[in-house]
Amino acid sequence: MVRQPLTPEQIAAGQRLGTALRAARGGRSLVEVALAAGISPETLRKIETGRLPAPAFGTVVCLSQALDIPLADLADVWLAGTLMSRAS
């Protein structure tokens, strides 16, 4: 199966998600949060910097739990640009 390239909207959503996760991490180290979520620090670094704009759902769920952020809040971050473009 060939994966379709991400759209510009999906890439922007991933960047918003990464920014939100980095902000939620606050003073906690990247390594600490990554290990609490069960992912590698490099994976978290890629998500936070937008180099991995579409992380797996399970990864987002684990980060949500590790950072004590409701999953719905992360979904709202992801959808923010989509909802605005639909309203235009």
CA dist 65 and 59 (Å) reads: 10
CA dist 10 and 14 (Å) reads: 6
Provide the whole-model pTM: 0.86
Average pLDDT over residues 57-63: 97
Q: Tell whether the model's pLDDT for residue 4 goes beyond 70.
A: yes
Q: Tell whether the model's pLDDT for residue 48 goes beyond 50.
A: yes
Higher pLDDT, residue 2 or 77: 77
Average pLDDT over residues 34-41: 98
pLDDT of residue 26: 94
Phi, psi of 83 (to 5 degrees): -70, -40
Average pLDDT over residues 19-26: 95
Reading the block at residue 9, the tokens are 């909207």
CB within 8 Å of 86: residues ≥ 6 apart:
none
